[in-house]
Chains A and B, each alone.
Chain A
Amino acid sequence: MEFIKFNGVTKQYKNGVVAIYDLNLSIEKGDFCYIIGGSGSGKSTLIKMLYREEKPTRGEIILGGLKVNKLRNSSVYKLRRKLGVVFQDYRLLPKSNVYENVAFALEAIGLKKRDIRPKVLKAIELVGLKSKLRDYPDNLSGGEQQRVAIARAIVNEPKLLICDEPTGNLDPVMSMEIVKLLEEINKKEGTTVIMVTHDKTIVNKRKKHVIALKEGHLFKDYKKGEYIDEIL
C-alpha cells in the first residue's frame, strides 16, 4: 500500500537553483527506506518537502492520503503531529533533562500532564535510556543524545519517522546502534522510516529499500535486498 507518493515533483529555490527535478517515487506503509546521494543531490530538500518545511514548485506530494503541497500554512501543524523528525545535530534543549526534552514535544501540542508521563517513559524505555531520565544533554554521549532525539520524535506515535543523517556525527559502532534502534521502531511500532544517509556501508549491510538521488533526479530505486555499488 502506497503511503508516500511524489508525482512529478520539482523544487526550484528563489535563487534559481533546481534542487529536485520531476521526481516520481513511492514508499509503502511500514517501509524502511534509505535516501542516499551526494551533496546537492536533493536529499534534504526531498524530506523538507515531506514535512512541509519547503513547498514543491510543481507536482504533487501525497502522504497517507493527504496532499501535502495543498496544505495551508495554518494547517501544517496537523501534518507534523503525524510524523517525527530526527536531525544530525540532535536539536535538544540543553537546559532540559532527558525526560523534559521528550515531554516537551507533547507539552507543546497541549497534552495533559497525566497523559504525557506514560508516553514519555515508554519512548525513553524504547530507546534504552531509562536509567538516564534526569541526565542533561551535556552529560550524554553523541549516540545517547541521538536516542533522546529519536525518543522525542516517536513519543507521539507518528506514522512516519524522518531521519536526516542521524548518524552523521557518530562513530561506526554508535551509528549501527542507532540504525538498529530505528529498525526496531519500524518493526515494533509499524512506523514508516525514511533515513537520509551518506553512509553506504550501513545501507549495504541492512539491505532495505533505497532511493538514490543524483543532481535532483531519481538515480535509482533499489528494491529491498539489492546491493548498492554505484558511487554517488
Chain B
Amino acid sequence: MKFFRILGRSIRDAFKSVGRNFSLSLASISCIIITLVIVAMSIVVSYNVENISNVLREDLTIVAFVSNDADEFVVKKLKLDIEDISNVDKVTFKDKSEIKNEMMKEDEAFENAMKTWDEEENPLQHTYLVKVKDIEEITETATAIKNLDGIDVVKYGEGMVDQLITVFKVAERASIIAVIALVLMTMFLIVNTIKLTIFSRKREISIMRLVGASNFAIKLPFVVEGMILGFLGSILPVIGMIYGYKTLYTYFGGKFFTDIIKLVRPEPFIYYAALIVVGIGILVGMLGSSRAVRKYLKV
C-alpha cells in the first residue's frame, strides 16, 4: 500500500514538473516524437520487408529448361540431380505438351499458332520448376542447376531479386542506424530535462532527505517524469502510424506498385506495432531519467 501511495505521489509530482519546465519538456517530447516517427516507420518497413521476403520465398521459382536433345533417361535423372542440390526445397516437372496446353488456354493468339503443333513439331522445352529454401542463395543454386548436363537455360528473375534484396537490406540498416542515433539524442535531452527538474526541486529534495524519505521515494518522481515524457512523445507517432498505414494500405489496395510486393494487413499488425512504439517511448524516457537521477541526484 505504501508503495502505491509513493507511486501516486510520484505520478502527481511528475505531471506537475512536466508543466513547470514546460519548454524543456516540450523540447524532449518533440525529440521523442521525431525518434518514434522514425522507429514507427522502421517497424512498418521492416515488418513488410520480412513479409515480402516470405512471399518471395514462397513464390520465387527457378525455371530450368531441359535441352530438347536430352533423352528420357537424362530428363528423369535431372530431377534427382536437382533434388541433390542442398538449397533446393521442391522440384516439379512440367512436360512441354502440358506447357503448350496452358499457353493455348491463356491467349487466343497462342491457341491459333500452337493448335497445329504435334509432339514432334512442338519447339517448347520440358521444364523443371524449382523452389529454394534460402532466397539469398538463389543465384548459386540457379548456377548449379544450369551446370547440370541436359539443362539448356535457367531463369529466375535474377537481376530483380538481387536488387530487391539489396534495397531491403540497405533500408533496414539505414533505419536501424537512424533510430540508434535519435534514441541517443533523445536520451541526452531527457537527461537535461530531468537535470533541470532536479535543480528546480533542490529544496524539496533536501527536505525529503531530512524528514527520512527513502531514496526510492526521492528518485521515483524523476523516473516517472521521464516515462511520462516518453509516453506523451509516443502519442503523435502512434496516431500517425495507425492512420498513415491504414490509408496507405487502402490507397495502394494492399500491394506496393506490383503484385509481388504485398503489404501486411493493417489489423492487428499496426496495433501491435503501436504498442511497441509506446513501449520504446516509455523505455527511452525511463532510461534517460534514470541516468540523470544517477548522475545528478546525490541521495
Residues of A at under 8 Å CB distance from B?
Answer: 51, 74, 77-82, 84-85, 91, 93, 104-112, 152, 156
Contacts and interface: CB of A to CB of B under 8 A. Distances in A.
B184 interface: no
Contact of A109 (B3, B212, B215): B212
Nearest to B9: A107
A106 B213 CA distance: 9
Interface in B206-245: 206-215, 217
B294 interface: no
B216 to A, nearest CB: 9
B6 A110 contact: yes
A112 B5 contact: yes
A77 B206 contact: no
B239 to A, nearest CB: 35
Interface string B1-23: 11101100100000000000000
B204 interface: yes
Contacts of B295: none
A80 B210 contact: yes
Given A77-B212, A78-B212, A109 B207 contact: no
B108 to A, nearest CB: 85
Interface residues of B, number: 19
Contact of A93 (B1, B204, B210): B204
B211 A156 contact: yes
B115 interface: no
Contacts of A77: 209, 212-215
Contacts of A51: 210
A108 B5 contact: no
A109 B217 contact: yes
5 smallest CB-CB distances across A and B, nearest first, come from A81-B212, A80-B212, A108-B213, A105-B211, A110-B2
Given A74-B215, A77-B214, A77-B215, A108 B208 contact: yes
Contact of B209 (A74, A80, A106, A107): A80
B5 A110 contact: yes
Nearest to B211: A105
Contacts of A79: 212
Contacts of A78: 212
Contacts of A74: 215
A152 B207 CA distance: 10
Interface in B110-129: none
Contacts of A112: 1, 5
A106 B2 CA distance: 12
Contacts of A104: 204, 207, 211
Given A51-B210, A110-B217, 11 more contacts: A77-B215, A82-B212, A93-B204, A93-B207, A104-B207, A108-B217, A109-B211, A109-B214, A110-B9, A112-B5, A152-B207
Contacts of B212: 77-82, 108-109, 156
30 contacts: A77-B209, A77-B214, A78-B212, A79-B212, A80-B209, A80-B210, A80-B212, A81-B211, A81-B212, A84-B211, A93-B203, A93-B207, A104-B211, A105-B207, A105-B211, A108-B207, A108-B211, A108-B217, A109-B213, A109-B214, A109-B217, A110-B2, A110-B5, A110-B9, A110-B217, A111-B5, A112-B5, A152-B207, A156-B211, A156-B212
Contacts of B207: 91, 93, 104-105, 108, 152
Q: Identify which of B207, B211, B213, B217 gathers the most chain A CB atoms within 10 Å of its CB.
A: B211
B203 A91 contact: yes
Q: Identify which of B5, B204, B214, B217 gathers the most chain A CB atoms within 10 Å of its CB.
A: B214
Nearest to A149: B207
A213 B9 CA distance: 43
B210 A85 contact: yes
B294 to A, nearest CB: 14
Nearest to B207: A91
Contacts of B214: 77, 109
B73 to A, nearest CB: 84
Nearest to B206: A91
Interface string B173-217: 000000000000000000000000000000110111111111101
A108 B9 CA distance: 9
Contacts of A81: 211-212
Contacts of B5: 110-112
B204 A152 contact: no
A213 to B, nearest CB: 23
Given A91-B203, A93-B204, A108-B217, A80 B6 contact: no
Contacts of B3: 110
B211 A152 contact: yes
Contacts of A110: 2-3, 5-6, 9, 217
Given A108-B217, A112-B5, A80 B204 contact: no
